[in-house]
Amino acid sequence: MPSIAAHVKQVPANQIREITQAAWTRPDAIVLSIGEPAFPVPRHILDAGIAALDRDETNYTPNEGLTPLRSAFAARFGDRNGIELDASRVYVTAGAQQGLHLAMSMLLGAGDEVLIPNPGYPTFGMTARLVHGVPVDYPLRPGNGFQPQVRDLEELVSDRTRVLVLNSPSNPLGAVFSESLTRDLVAFAERHDLWILSDECYEAFTYDVPHVSPARFDESSTRVITSLTLSKTYGLTGLRIGALILPDGLGPQFNAVMESIVSCVGASPQYAAVAALTGPEDYIETAAAHYRSNRDAATAALRALNIEFLDAQGAFYLWADLSHATGGDVRSWVHTFLAEEGVAVAPGTAFGSNGEGWIRLALCTETESLLTGVSRLPRRS
């Protein structure tokens, strides 16, 4: 058999999927390892997708997406961030993950470096390697609330650096960037003439703090690429609908890259997405209240076990320190914990080396299951 490409061999396994798939083989497992919203999708969203199929809208759509959906994304993002956004800058993708791949395909040449958070979502580095880029970790540390530090970025930037990846609200951390920090990060990118790829998948879910998009400070609209999704916002993980907000002038490049990967996103999910973005917001309000309530209940349970954690300000995850129990190998420990206690949690090393000893708990499940799973964590003496 001929060998596969060397750079593909460098793409690591996703440890979140690893533990979750192990849990799925156990019918009795409590699965806290994956961010899958548990609420049913609102009927008007499903009906819009079904109606498109009933109309036999099963042909190709434009590379950039259907005009009504691009307009709906632009209106929502502009309203929430207080900026004017023309729909011509919105490009529909098959979920945020494809958006990440498309963006890196456009921005990174072979050997170009991209600054990614550690801990950070694993596909930041996986995707960079897949397109021949070089991921360079910037550290997020407990001592500063796992927030990026510009001084750390200054030490890592080189003449090969092309992209700075930002993620707020953060998966896995639940951390949210302040306005001043966001402004400083955009200024850093300007000083070094970098692209910013801003992952804002969880922008709908913050608790007592605002979500601040870097796009607000990109005054010339030439540097920031924003990645959005409806997977978490409306529980549409399986429909694969996201969007990239691009600076003017990148449309032809987007269309060429999109054509080479999937050509276009299916019509039915796009019409469902239009209904989601333009319809009632009850789902978001209900989900946000549930996630906040679960956060509060889970943090109380962790305190009772004397387990340290990062107080989540956004998304729907808790980042907890289990270093007292994991023996320096949290990846192995989570499998032992699943086997012995029937609970799946994501190992911190799924998100980078700085996650050693930590775990991520998903807060989007039923409260009873969440608290049962947390109660089985080993107490810190």
Residue pair 111/134 in contact (Cβ under 8 Å)? The answer is yes
pLDDT digits (tens, 9 = 90+) for 82-120: 999 999 999 999 999 999 999 999 999 999 999 999 999
Angle CA 270–272–274, to nearest 5: 70
Q: Cα torsion at 182, 188, 192, 195 (round to 10°)?
A: -10
Hey, what are 91's tokens?
């490009």
Which segments in the chain show pLDDT lower than 70? none
Query: Across-strand partners of 362?
Result: 317
CATH superfamily assigned to domain 6-41+282-375: Aspartate Aminotransferase, domain 1 (3.90.1150.10)
**pLDDT score, position 3:** 86
The domain made up of 43-278 has a fold known as Aspartate Aminotransferase; domain 2 (3.40.640)
Q: How confident is the model at residue 136, as a pLDDT?
A: 98
Domain ranges of the chain: 6-41+282-375, 43-278
What is the spatial distance between Cα 218 and Cα 279, in angstroms, rounded to a whole number? 29
Structural tokens at position 212: 């601040």
DSSP assigned state of 34:
S
Distance CA 231, CA 229 (A): 5
Give the residue among 134, 211, 113 at the shortest CA–CA distance from 167. 211
For residues 60 and 139, give the distance between their C-alpha atoms in angstroms, rounded to a whole number. 43
pTM over 0.85: yes
Q: Are 298 and 374 in contact (CB under 8 A)?
A: yes
Q: What is the pLDDT of residue 330?
A: 98
The reply to whether 6-41+282-375 and 43-278 are identical in fold is no
Residues 59, 64, 67, 68, Cα dihedral to 10°: 90
3-state DSSP: the chain helix, strand, coil percent, rounded to 5? 45, 15, 40
From the number of C-beta atoms within 10 Å of its C-beta (0-12, 13-18, 19+), residue 165 rates as buried
Q: What is the pLDDT of residue 12?
A: 83
**Three-state secondary structure readout of 242-272:** EEEECCCCCHHHHHHHHHHHCCCCCHHHHHH
- C-alpha distances (whole Å) from 168 to each of 147, 281, 313 are 10, 21, 10
